[in-house]
């Protein structure tokens, strides 16, 4: 059933929706799986990306059974180099008894319907070839000359400043599981295509203040693993009932949904941080953990001008060690909808409604349709019972006021 999920979503999108989006698959059963990848509505590119993801997912499921807490994490980069050329990279990390780290990139021209290689983008690649090898030798002392002589430049990404070329571990004598790459400044290259610079937007928004009476019964609805195409459906319901939520977003997806994030804030909801690529945090070094947090802070700031103050740990797993590395406030929950697992609206309602009490924090997910289908009944029922909806920050503030009384 879960394998089907990967196959169905992109196919549905090619025919069923006109906007690009990010598909997120999170599983937390025997394995920890977090996959984020973009769907562009460009058929050949989407097919290539989703079949690559599907192949990694299937192989991981086949091979991971014996290991303790095996983890698969796929994140992406997405860049429109100009109006017709899209460059995507998929970064795979597998943590079982051995660690695997690899990158695959796709560069596709919508006008010519062709995948592009580096020869299509860089002029005089044969002249540059010598330079690239010299730089690789400078950066990686243990590079293997025999391998270097036959090296090909299959995988690359381009951002506003650099062309980054990725190499397989075979180019080093001592194999590593780190990604081997080389940055080459774009201004030192002769390019065969135009590259548009990313636009910088300056926005600033404040969270809408609400009038909550000190003695009101309050509840905070929280949504993890978005944003996604289902998020606006949830926002529509929240708006209709003058409610709000707190959205713990995955930083890797924020750029695709900047308008959705802006809308959250405008309509009185709050944005929290749910890491950049949804890895299992207890396994990360301090540097890796900080990078996961900071990259998401930057993405949200860039998209909205708002700086999150709350953090929800992925898979609900954290430690005092991790807490000591950040000023963000760790937020868990006391009511779990288990929406991703039970899937049905009725079961979600049964998990949520009888368990909400004054001051509850409810966990739902906005990366699939399940919570979106149940949200109207959840909100309406709680409202009928006299609950006022607050963001998690507001809930914490009110609880503090009540304690100090």
Catalytic residues: 224, 365
Question: Among residue numbers 344 through 383, which ones bind Zn ion (CB under 5 A)?
Answer: none
Would you state the structure tokens that stand for residue 360, as one six-digit string?
């509850």
Tell me which of 224, 292, 339, 394 binds Zn ion, using CB under 5 A.
224
Segment near Zn ion (CB under 5 A), from 51-59, 187-195, 286-294, 308-316?
A: 308-316
> Is residue 264 within a helix (H) or strand (E), and if so which, with residue range?
helix 258-266
Is residue 339 part of the contact set for Zn ion (CB under 5 A)?
Answer: no
Number of neighbouring beta carbons within 10 Å of residue 234: 28
Most distant CA pair in the chain, distance: 75
Interatomic CA distance for residues 329 and 393, integer angstroms: 10
Q: From the CB of 210, what's the least distance to Zn ion, in Å? A: 26
Is residue 225 part of the contact set for Zn ion (CB under 5 A)?
Answer: yes
Q: From the CB of 357, what's the least distance to Zn ion, in Å? A: 24
Interatomic CA distance for residues 343 and 117, integer angstroms: 42
Count of positions on this chain that bind Zn ion (CB under 5 A): 3
Segment near Zn ion (CB under 5 A), from 99-107, 216-224, 329-337, 379-387?
A: 216-224
Interatomic CA distance for residues 220 and 210, integer angstroms: 13
Query: What DSSP state is assigned to residue 358?
Result: T
**Closest to Zn ion by CB, 63 or 316:** 316
Query: What DSSP state is assigned to residue 327?
Result: S
Question: Among residue numbers 107 through 166, which ones bind Zn ion (CB under 5 A)?
Answer: none
Is residue 46 part of the contact set for Zn ion (CB under 5 A)?
Answer: no
Per-residue burial over 199-211, b = 16 or more CB atoms within 10 Å of its CB, e = otherwise: eeeeeeeebeeee
Sign of CA dihedral 245, 260, 79, 185: negative
**Closest to Zn ion by CB, 32 or 42:** 32
Segment near Zn ion (CB under 5 A), from 9-17, 114-122, 223-231, 392-400?
A: 223-231
User: Coil, strand, or helix at residue 125?
Assistant: helix
**Closest to Zn ion by CB, 156 or 340:** 340
Residues at the site binding Zn ion, with contacts judged by CB under 5 A: 224-225, 314
């Amino acid at each position: 059933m879960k394998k089907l999920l990967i196959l169905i979503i992109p196919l549905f999108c090619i025919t069923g929706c006109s906007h690009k989006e990010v598909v997120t698959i999170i599983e937390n059963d025997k394995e920890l799986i977090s996959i984020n990848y973009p769907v562009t509505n460009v058929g050949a590119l989407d097919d290539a990306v989703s079949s690559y993801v599907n192949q990694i997912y299937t192989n991981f499921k086949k091979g991971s059974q014996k290991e303790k807490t095996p983890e698969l994490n796929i994140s992406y980069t997405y860049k429109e180099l100009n109006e017709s050329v899209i460059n995507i990279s998929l970064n795979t990390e597998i943590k079982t008894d051995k660690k695997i780290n690899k990158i695959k990139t796709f560069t596709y021209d919508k006008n010519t319907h062709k995948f592009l290689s580096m020869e299509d983008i860089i002029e005089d690649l044969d002249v540059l070839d010598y330079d690239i090898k010299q730089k690789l030798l400078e950066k990686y002392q243990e590079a293997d000359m025999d391998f270097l002589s036959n090296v090909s430049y299959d995988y690359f990404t381009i951002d506003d400043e650099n062309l980054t070329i990725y190499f397989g571990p075979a180019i080093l004598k001592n194999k590593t599981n780190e990604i081997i790459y080389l940055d080459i400044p774009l201004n030192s290259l002769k390019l065969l295509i135009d590259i548009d610079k990313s636009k910088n937007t300056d926005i600033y928004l404040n969270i809408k203040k609400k009038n909550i009476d000190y003695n009101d019964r309050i509840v905070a609805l929280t949504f993890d693993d978005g944003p996604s195409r289902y998020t606006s459906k949830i926002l529509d319901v929240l708006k209709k009932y003058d409610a709000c939520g707190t959205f713990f977003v995955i930083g890797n997806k924020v750029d695709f949904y900047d308008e959705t994030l802006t809308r959250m804030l405008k309509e009185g909801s709050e944005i929290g941080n749910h890491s950049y690529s949804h890895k299992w945090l207890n396994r990360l070094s301090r540097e890796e953990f900080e990078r996961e947090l900071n990259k998401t802070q930057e993405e949200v700031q860039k998209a909205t001008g708002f700086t999150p103050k709350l953090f929800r740990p992925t898979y609900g797993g954290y430690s005092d060690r991790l807490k000591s590395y950040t000023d963000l406030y760790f937020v868990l929950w006391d009511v779990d909808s288990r929406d991703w697992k039970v899937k049905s609206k009725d079961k979600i309602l049964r998990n949520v409604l009888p368990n909400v009490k004054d001051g509850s924090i409810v966990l739902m997910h906005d990366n699939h349709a399940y919570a979106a289908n149940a949200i109207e009944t959840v909100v309406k029922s709680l409202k009928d019972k006299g609950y006022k909806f607050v963001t998690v920050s507001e809930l914490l503030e009110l609880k503090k006021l009540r304690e100090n009384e």
